[in-house]
Amino acid sequence: MTWPHSCIRPHELLADHTSFRIGGPAEWFAEPSTLEELVDVLRAASRLGLPVSVIGGGTNTLAADRGIRGVVIHLGREFRTITDLSHPDEPMATVVCGASLLTQRLVYLAAKHGWGDLELLAGLPGQLGGAVAMNAQGIGQFVQQVSLVGFDGTVRQLTREQLRFRYRFAELEPGIVTEVILRFPKVPPAEAYERIRRALQYRNTTQEIRLPSAGCAFKNPPGTGAGRLIDQAGLKGARIGDAQISLRHANFIVNLGHATCDDVLSLMEYAQCRVHSEFNVHLEPEVRVVGEQWCR
Ligand SMILES: Cc1cc2nc3c(=O)[nH]c(=O)nc-3n(C[C@H](O)[C@H](O)[C@H](O)COP(=O)(O)OP(=O)(O)OC[C@H]3O[C@@H](n4cnc5c(N)ncnc54)[C@H](O)[C@@H]3O)c2cc1C
């Protein structure tokens, strides 16, 4: 099959696009550089009956070893724009961001310009579109508006009132976030910088950042930490293949070199079973699994 779009290539290895370094090929991998190109690709995929999925920084994604059928959309660098709309005298900053903007670029600019409260996102890997889709670190509280292209190619704007954010979850219609408007209080840049510096220091001492992972494997159950339960079940260091429960943070599963998606899923199931039998608590995955094997 040939596509009229130069932004599409076949059999792109998803291991190259995920922080876990795991994943087989995407049947088609599209990196549109404009909204028009994105809409065009989505309409073509819909005509061809191909399933569509979306990946941002791939830092919360576990991709199947056998890969993903259909078209995987990865917004191009052209969606990394950021514009500050606010007047210097206003107490609040309003910024318009492209969805493939790196979340850490936003944090860097927050330290520089004095955008307050963004220390919440300090050290959070991935892109802004992915962060909004995951409501990572409660980013939803800053979101004023989201531009979203439905998988059928229709473009719409969703206002704050139309959006629902829950713990590590955003209730969005199926589609691709292309732009986000965020609003936060302004603070003196030195204060923003210091708050971000401290948040980064805390993250670096508590999280597993040396080995490939997708961050926390499970959501925290009400009133407790998933990592604490996994640790108390004696599972730190437990290993299946090259997937291991981190010795540093029990809610992180790390790839020791050649872990497969199957290894990680088996280890997640093992942790779920052990925590359930010891504490009668069900651990819900936080990491999103995409591709052929996601039926567990
Ligand atoms: C070392 C490490 C530490 C982490 N620490 C934290 C933490 O402290 N707190 C936290 O909340 N998370 C954490 N994470 C998880 C992850 O970084 C966040 O969830 C991040 O915001 C995901 O962004 P991403 O672009 O990588 O998303 P991806 O993994 O690419 O995608 C995640 C989900 O969002 C969807 N998506 C991505 N882009 C778009 C888009 N443009 N439009 C619509 N849907 C989209 C995908 O389809 C998928 O369902 C950590 C991960 C790692 C590796």
- The preferred substitution site among 16, 18, 55, 139 for testing ligand 1, maximizing ligand atoms within 8 Å of CB, is 55
- Note the pLDDT of residue 296: 36
For residue 123, how far is its CA from the centre of ligand 1 (angstroms)? 12
Return the domain boundaries, the chain: 8-78, 80-205, 210-290
User: How confident is residue 2, by pLDDT bands cut at 50, 70 and 90?
Assistant: confident
Name the residue at shortest CA distance from atom 13 of ligand 1: 215
CATH class held by domain 8-78: alpha beta
pLDDT at 292: 66
Decide if domain 210-290 falls under CATH 3.40.50.720: no
Residue 295: is its pLDDT beyond 60? no
Is residue 134 over pLDDT 50?
A: yes
Compute the average pLDDT of residues 91-99. 97
- Rounded to the nearest whole angstrom, what is the distance from the C-alpha of residue 54 to the centroid of ligand 1? 11
What pLDDT shows up at residue 245?
98
pLDDT reported for residue 293? 46
The per-residue pLDDT for range 136-188, each reduced to its tens digit, is 999 999 999 999 999 999 999 999 999 999 999 999 999 999 999 999 999 99
The mean pLDDT of 44-72, rounded to a whole number, is 95
The percentage of the chain sitting over the pLDDT mark of 90, rounded to a whole number, equals: 93
34: amino acid identity, one letter: T
Query: How high is the pLDDT of residue 216?
Result: 98
Counting from 1 in the atom list of ligand 1, the atom nearest the Cα of 53 is: 47
Q: Which atom of ligand 1 is nearest to the CA of 209?
A: 1
What single string gives the DSSP state of each residue in the chain? ---S-TTEEEEEEGGGGSTT----EEEEEE---SHHHHHHHHHHHHHHT--EEE-SS-SSEEE-TT-EEEEEE---GGG--EEE---TT-SEEEEEEETTSBHHHHHHHHHHHTBTTGGGGTT--SBHHHHHHHTGGGGGGGEEEEEEEETTS-EEEEEGGG-EEETTEEE--SEEEEEEEEEEEB--HHHHHHHHHHHHHHHHHHS--SS-EEEESBPPPTTS-HHHHHHHTT-TT-EETTEEE-SS-TTEEEE-SS--HHHHHHHHHHHHHHHHHHH--PPPB-SEEESTT---
pLDDT in tens, 179-218: 999 999 999 999 999 999 999 999 999 998 899 999 999 9
Binding pocket residue ranges, ligand 1, CB within 6 Å? 19, 54-61, 75, 99, 124-127, 129-131, 133-134, 136-137, 176-177, 207, 209, 213-215, 288
Atom of ligand 1 nearest to the CA of 168: 11
Class of domain 80-205: alpha beta
Q: Identify the residue whose C-alpha is closest to ligand 1 atom 12.
A: 136
Q: How confident is the model at residue 5 (pLDDT cuts 50, 70, 90)?
A: confident
Task: State the average pLDDT over residues 73-86.
Answer: 95
